[in-house]
Amino acid sequence: MKGMMLNALLGVMLGRFGSVWRLLVFVPIVAAEVGYGLCVYNLSAGACLRRGTALLICGQLAFLLGALLRPIANQR
C-alpha cells in the first residue's frame, strides 16, 4: 500500500511539473519495491510480476492526472 501511494504522489508531481521522459524514474523505484517484497514477504515470481505491473500502472495513471492539472498556456 505504501508503494502505491509513493508512486501516485510521484506520478502526480511529475505529471504536473515534469515531462513524459521523467516517467523512467518509476522503473528503479518499482524494482526496489518489488525486491523489497521479494526479500521481506517471500513473494513468488508471479506475485512480483503482478505487484510490479500494478505499481507501474498506478504511477502512469497518476502522471496522467498530474498532466491534466497543468495550467492552460492561454489562460494566464
Q: Residues 20-29: pLDDT tens digits? A: 888 888 899 8
- The CA-based dihedral angle spanning residues 17, 19, 22, 26, taken in that order and rounded to the nearest 10 degrees: 70
Q: What is the pTM of this model?
A: 0.82
Per cent of the chain over pLDDT 90 is 38
Q: How does residue 7 score in pLDDT terms, banded at 50, 70 and 90? A: confident
pLDDT of residue 57: 92
| pLDDT tens, position by position, 30-40 | 999 899 989 99
Residue 2 reports pLDDT greater than 80: no
Q: Please state, in angstroms and rounded to a whole number, the distance separating the CA atoms of residues 6 and 37.
A: 15
Mean pLDDT of 45-53: 92
Residue 3 burial class via C-beta count within 10 angstroms: exposed 0-12, middle 13-18, buried 19 and up: buried
